[in-house]
Amino acid sequence: MKKAYLFCLGLLLTDPAFAQVQDNLQGQIDQIKEDIVVMQRQLYRDKNDTVAPQESVSNVQMRLGEYDQMIRDMNGKVESIEYRLNTLEKKIEMIGKDTELRFSQMQRQAGTVTPPKAPAKKASAPAADLKAPDNVSPKDLYEQALTDLKNNKLDQAETKFSQFLNSYPKDALAANAQYWLGEVYYKKQDFAKAAVAFKDGYSKYPEGSKGPDCLLKLGLSMKGLGKKDEACTAFTNIPTIFGKVNPDISKRAENEAKALSCK
């Protein structure tokens, strides 16, 4: 969330339109100050010139008064811009904190909410089975798990992806394996486990290519659990957190947000 906050604030500070307004106001103030210095010198000369008509001195004094008012007006505009900038900065910070809190709530709720009833399924693999076979390379194990998922052999795919992640958590394919494990649970309609798996995929592998996919599926899992607010948080924050993403993911998130009437 801090990245999203700093990114938004950076855009504002580097906005050419905003910078131009500041430059224009400052330039006008500087020019007025220079004019005042010139007029003060003229006024000094006129006061010491016994020949100079009194009307000339009065005109200079009047113009100085006008310039003083213009400077006050300009300074007021600059202060107004600074106030709005500070207010906007506080709002961005509050949005960042609120989003971070919602994601924390997602993870807690995903682990405690009772998932929808699903057809009876086999018990999860025992802990001893989570160790990858010695005679199978990480890549082969990953490919086998992916093949099982494509063939709808969900229990086998769950076991193999779990073995892969338990044995090779830092492998180059780990981020993808985490995402596909979430897909296994999602296909089983075990939305609580799916939400946890996709949240892990988003938080444990933030630089992985599946980050936007995980956040989208996290939102869909929360939708499956009937958690509208958490689902909306995921859908609406994909472009903020990741910037440019696959158009299909961006469009799906946008459509899901509209369907839920997300604010």
Are 235 and 253 contacting, i.e. CB atoms less than 8 angstroms apart?
Answer: yes
Q: Residue 120's pLDDT is what?
A: 44
Q: Is the pLDDT of residue 40 over 90?
A: no
In which band, very low, low, confident or very high, does the pLDDT at 208 lie, cut at 50, 70 and 90? confident
Q: Please, how many CA atoms are within 13 Å of residue 160, restricted to the half-sphere of its CB?
A: 21
CA dist., res. 197 & res. 163, Å (int)? 14
Per-residue pLDDT, averaged over 41-61, amounts to 60
Distances 219 to 7, 12, 28, 222, 237 between C-alpha atoms, Å: 23, 29, 51, 5, 10
- Closest by CA position to 158, among listed 122, 192, 128: 122
Q: Residue 243's pLDDT is what?
A: 76
The residue with greater pLDDT, 256 or 28, is: 256
The residue with greater pLDDT, 162 or 62, is: 162
Per-residue pLDDT, averaged over 183-206, amounts to 92
Q: Residue 140's pLDDT is what?
A: 94
Q: Is the pLDDT of residue 150 over 80?
A: yes
Q: What is the DSSP letter of 228?
A: H
Per-residue pLDDT, averaged over 198-202, amounts to 90
Query: Could you report the per-residue pLDDT of 70-118, keeping only the tens digit for each?
Result: 777 777 766 776 676 566 556 556 555 555 555 555 544 444 333 344 4
Q: Residue 123's pLDDT is what?
A: 45
Average pLDDT value over all residues in the chain: 75
Per-residue pLDDT, averaged over 191-212, amounts to 89
In which band, very low, low, confident or very high, does the pLDDT at 155 lie, cut at 50, 70 and 90? very high
Percent of the chain with pLDDT over 90: 39
Task: Count the Cβ atoms, other than its own, within 10 Å of residue 8.
Answer: 18
Q: Is the pLDDT of residue 49 over 70?
A: no
> Contacts for 71-80 with beta carbons within 8 Å, 24 or more apart?
71/29, 71/32, 71/33, 71/36, 74/25, 74/28, 74/29, 74/32, 75/29, 77/25, 78/22, 78/25, 78/26, 78/29
Q: Is the pLDDT of residue 56 over 50?
A: yes
In which band, very low, low, confident or very high, does the pLDDT at 121 lie, cut at 50, 70 and 90? very low
Percent of the chain with pLDDT over 70: 59
- Closest by CA position to 60, among listed 50, 48, 70, 47: 47
Are 171 and 137 contacting, i.e. CB atoms less than 8 angstroms apart?
Answer: no
- Could you tell me the two tokens for 53? 């008509």
CA dist., res. 234 & res. 196, Å (int)? 13
152 φψ region: left (φ > 0), alpha (ψ -120 to 50), beta (else): left
**Which alpha helices (H) appear in 48-153, and where do they start and end?**
54-112, 138-150
- Could you tell me the two tokens for 254? 């946008």
Per-residue pLDDT, averaged over 148-156, amounts to 96
What does the DSSP assignment read for 155-199? HHHHHHHHHHHHH-TTSTTHHHHHHHHHHHHHHTT-HHHHHHHHH
Q: Which residue has the tokens 């194990």?
A: 141
| Global pTM exceeds 0.75 | no
Q: Residue 24's pLDDT is what?
A: 65
